Structure 1
Amino acid sequence: MSVRIVEGRATDANNGEVVVFMIGMRIHRWRALRQWWPAFTAMPGMLKELAADPNSGVAGFRLMIGGGLREITLVQYWKDTDRLLAYAAAADQQHRPAWQAFNQRARASATRGHKPAMGIWHETYAVPAGRHETVYVNMPPYGLGQAFGTQPVAARGERAAQRLGQAEDR
């Protein structure tokens, strides 16, 4: 499978708000499969659900594995916070039932005196229009560029300060 390289300098094509939502898990005890496997397998269904709905607000995502394969991080790019929060709270979507089931398993495990088999985390960054900056040099579409498309750097400014909406430094 060939990868399309965007030659030269490019930046993402999004001029509006962007929300970067990072969510991850860390497996503490591999053998406690019943504790961490349901959370691990819930995410692909949620991503499929989001990708199938053009109005979901998710623009793209990237999965990363590290920490000796114990740490899984999913970076999601959203068009706005309203749709991210709506998805998280929607009873008829996959996230809320999965979150409730995770909490029930975690409480039951703690009640039995078991050490946590896994941990989860998330971070949300809501970036106003004109307040983010990207540059890609001889790269395939990546990150915000993959989520929103790319354009020549000159379209948003040759320097990082320009792309961030800052006054040009000396």
Structure 2
Amino acid sequence: MVSRTTANAKGDVVVLLIGMRINRFWAVHLWLPVLLGMLRMLRELAQDPARGLLSRVLLTASPRTYYVVQYWESKEKLYAYASAPDAWHHKVWTAFNHKERKGKLRGRVGIWHEAYVVPEGSYEAIYGDMPAFGLAAAHGQVPLERRGRYAKDRFSYRSQQETVGEKTG
């Protein structure tokens, strides 16, 4: 393993943070289906890479808050999965909305998501003695020197530089 690496992302990076907060621990019958639904969606996406999920990291912020950082091929593929009638997300979201409209979830379980399209030149990464993780797990990992030793160099890196360098080299 190379001691210092960076992510081999090219172009825009699409990141989705999605999670839940258990507001009432005793309401297991309401929050557990949300948690299990997320795990099933991740399994479904892993079994069908064409849907566009490149990588994900499951995290916890507290005993109450669980979330997933997801890296997607494109915002179009993310939107397509979120709205696909054949996807598990559609079934879970429909059930969640039904319970919410009836007031069953109010104050018991919270959900959230944030989606970002990060333009090339607006992200950089460094990993020291790490296997591929996060952005590097989604897009591959290269020795740090390929993108620049300093953060300012990695921020200014453009994937077109490789194409031009390969043509002239």
1:7 is the counterpart of 2:12: no
1:147 aligns with 2:141: no
Residues 34-60 of structure 1, C-alpha deviation per residue, up to 9 Å, x if partnerless?
Answer: 221211110111111111112111110
Question: How far, CA to CA, are the matches of 2:34 and 2:93 in structure 1?
Answer: 8
1:58 pairs, out of 48, 53, 56, with 53
Unaligned segments of structure 2, at least 5 residues? 158-169
One-letter amino acid of the structure 1 residue matched with residue 108 of structure 2: A
Aligned counterpart in structure 2 of residue 95 of structure 1, from 89, 98, 104: 89
Question: Which segments of 5 or more consecutive residues in structure 1 lack a partner in the other structure?
Answer: 1-5
TM-score (norm. length: structure 1): 0.86
Q: Is the 8 A contact 1:23 1:123 kept in 2?
A: yes
How many Å apart are 1:77 and its aligned residue? 0.6
* Contact 1:58 1:78 survives alignment (8 Å): yes
Q: Aligned pair 1:129/2:120, yes or no?
A: yes
Q: Is the 8 A contact 1:19 1:125 kept in 2?
A: yes
Normalised to the residue count of structure 2, the TM-score between the two structures is 0.86
One of 6, 16, 21 as aligned partner of 1:21: 16
User: Matched residue pairs, number?
Assistant: 157
Shift in Å at residue 115 of structure 1? 4.5
Determine the structure 2 residue equivalent to 1:3: none
Does the aligned pair in 2 maintain the 1:15–1:130 contact within 8 Å? no
- Aligned twin of 1:164: 155
Which portions of structure 1, spanning 4 or more consecutive aligned residues, are displaced by more than 3 angstroms?
A: none
| 2:87 aligned counterpart, secondary structure | coil
**For the Cα contact (< 8 Å) 1:106–1:116, is it kept in 2?**
no
Cα RMSD between the aligned structures?
1.6
- Residue identity (%): 41
